[in-house]
Amino acid sequence: MNVRTPDPNPGWLSEEDLYEARQRLPMLYVEAIPVRLDPLGYVNEVGLLYTADAAGHFSRTFVSGRVMYRETVRAALVRHMEKDLGPLAMPQLPLSPVPFTVAEYFPSPSETGLTDERQHAVALAYVIPVRGECSPRQDALELTWLTPSEALSPSIRDEFAGGRANILRQALAHAGWCE
């Protein structure tokens, strides 16, 4: 399943070079789970993107994308939040660039439970509060705001590809939400 975000500025590698690099190197990504907070700072909504791939398979995902050469993690987060949620999302980046987890994706099943058939990827994962209006990226069908309970329900968990439901569970636990 392809959950790739189209990038109008693909950066420093051509499609052919990117394919070759993916066969030889782990790729660095950032992943961000957008949330809305209540007045006390507790997560009351989680924003999940609903996408379809070229084969017509539907899935849930969150903001994700590569860190480009000479780009800071913070700059990559801002770029992908704007690209995936629109320029009016108003994300509140964390003071520290320390992620809540480091996710390791492999092209075939592994001990991490996370897969990406294109490559070996390492993703720094963040919970990012947003305050503004969000409009989903061009290839997303919609952005759905769900309560944490709804987002972790079996029916929604089953819609994630590559083990990403586990990342969502970790994100909500990191934010202090538990069932």
Q: Is 41 helix (H, G, I), strand (E, B) or coil?
A: coil
Whether 81 and 32 have beta carbons less than 8 Å apart is answered as: yes
Confidence of residue 96 (pLDDT cuts 50, 70, 90): very high
- Domains of the chain in start order, with CATH, are 20-173 (3.90.79.10)
What pLDDT does residue 2 have?
A: 53
Decide: pTM greater than 0.75: yes
pLDDT of 7 higher than 80? no
13 pLDDT more than 80: no
Q: How many CA atoms lie within 13 A of 48 on its CB side?
A: 24
Mean pLDDT within 32-59: 93
- Tell me: the pLDDT tens digits for 115-136? 999 889 999 999 999 999 999 8
Task: Give the chain's radius of gyration (CA, Å).
Answer: 15
Are residues 174 and 101 in contact, defined by beta-carbon separation less than 8 angstroms?
yes
CA–CA separation, 1 and 42 (whole Å): 33
Q: What is the pLDDT of residue 69?
A: 87
φ and ψ of 134, to 5 deg: -110, 135
Q: Which residues pair with 36 in a beta bridge?
A: 45
